[in-house]
Amino acid sequence: MIDIVVTLVFSIVMLLFMAYPAIKIVEFLETKINLSQKRKNILIITITILLSLAIGLFLKL
């Protein structure tokens, strides 16, 4: 249980730093496919959370 908490703490710290790469990824995807503003926002939030969770897991190791 403590491992999950530590991973989430690391991930919360990384949320701010992972926003920029998520925006760049969505901008790249927008060049390939047509995205509405609502989908872009959802993708940015989702990718930011996934990237920060991934970094949190790597920091935990």
At 29, list the tokens.
């995807």
Range of the domain at 22: 2-60
Whole-number Cα distances in Å, 48 to 1, 10, 31, 40: 24, 14, 19, 12
HSE-CB of 60 using CA atoms within 13 angstroms: 19
Whole-number Cα distances in Å, 57 to 1, 18, 32, 53: 14, 14, 30, 6
Provide the pLDDT for residue 52.
94
Say what the pTM is. 0.86
Q: What digits encode the pLDDT tens for the residues 3-53?
A: 888 888 888 988 999 999 999 999 999 999 999 999 999 999 999 999 999
| The total number of structural domains that make up the chain | 1
